[in-house]
Amino acid sequence: GDMDAAIVFYQQAAAADPNWGKPPFKLALVALNQGDMEGAKAFFAQVIEAEPDSAEAATAKATLESLP
């Protein structure tokens, strides 16, 4: 429920392991919830770059294709 705390934890996890796609995926979802389309797109791109064959990357690709 505490979105600000979640953001901090996701950012720490992303910094600790840049090759892990889950933290930027979660940050993308947070950005979408906050109406930050450009931020979400950037985070989704990070997911695809970090783990291109992951389930998160597949969802990120599909979401990117559907965003304006």
Cα separation, 30 vs 33, whole angstroms: 5
Which of left, alpha, beta for 58 (phi over 0: left; psi -120 to 50: alpha)?
Answer: alpha
Write down the residue that tokens 């791109």 correspond to.
45
Look at residue 2 in the predicted model and tell me its pLDDT.
86
Look at residue 61 in the predicted model and tell me its pLDDT.
97
Using alpha carbons, list the distances in angstroms from residue 44 to 1, 2, 33, 47, 52. 22, 22, 14, 5, 11
Closest CA to 3 of 41, 29, 25: 29
Q: What is the mean pLDDT of each run of 10 residues along the chain (68 residues)?
A: 89 94 96 95 96 96 94
What is the pTM assigned to this prediction?
0.91
